[in-house]
Amino acid sequence: MKRKNPTLMAIMVPLCFAAAGCATGGMFVAGNLTDVQLQKGNYKIIARGVTGEATAGYLLGASMPMGVTTNTFAVVRVDGTGMLYKEAMDNLWKNFESAHGSAEGKKLALINVHYDSEALNLFFHTQPRIIVRADVVEFTE
């Protein structure tokens, strides 16, 4: 019976775990199903440049931000939930409400929405970051 090479096993087992690690990709693609008539003057801008951001930390990986998309390949997440776009939007609304009061029951919409992404890539650690910026309008009719 042929014996397996222990050196080869020592290399292959960690590589298999690394390949089966965390791989996450994010892209926010919005589809607008409503028809909003902004030319009628039935709205007012109530906040400009409201921002929200989110980060996550991973070990043994890399992140690649490309405009509105961010892709991360790593072995394990050590910080954040990995749902960066949701967290960034939630933080945007929290920041809006802390400055302008509750959004509940108001006819609000985000306009001029911008998504930026960046990443910190170190040898053993990667940290993608998403920043969302928008203006908030309130409809009067």
pLDDT, one tens digit for every residue, the chain (141 residues): 555 566 655 665 555 444 444 545 555 555 555 666 666 778 899 999 999 999 999 999 999 888 777 888 889 999 888 899 999 999 999 999 999 999 998 999 999 999 999 999 998 999 999 999 999 999 887
> Does residue 92 lie within any of the structural domains?
yes
CB 81 within 8 A of CB 57: no
Nearest to 137 by CA among 112, 118, 115, 105: 112
> Does residue 1 lie within any of the structural domains?
no
CB 140 within 8 A of CB 44: yes
> Does residue 58 lie within any of the structural domains?
yes
CB 28 within 8 A of CB 92: no
Range of the domain at 53: 22-29+37-139
Q: In one letter, which amino acid is 25?
A: G
Structural domain total, the chain: 1
- Quote the tokens at residue 124: 């053993």
> Does residue 11 lie within any of the structural domains?
no
| Alpha carbon distance, N-terminus to C-terminus of the chain | 83
> Does residue 69 lie within any of the structural domains?
yes
> Does residue 3 lie within any of the structural domains?
no
> Does residue 48 lie within any of the structural domains?
yes
User: What is the value of pTM for the model shown?
Assistant: 0.71
> Does residue 135 lie within any of the structural domains?
yes
- Quote the tokens at residue 128: 């993608």
Q: In one letter, which amino acid is 97?
A: E
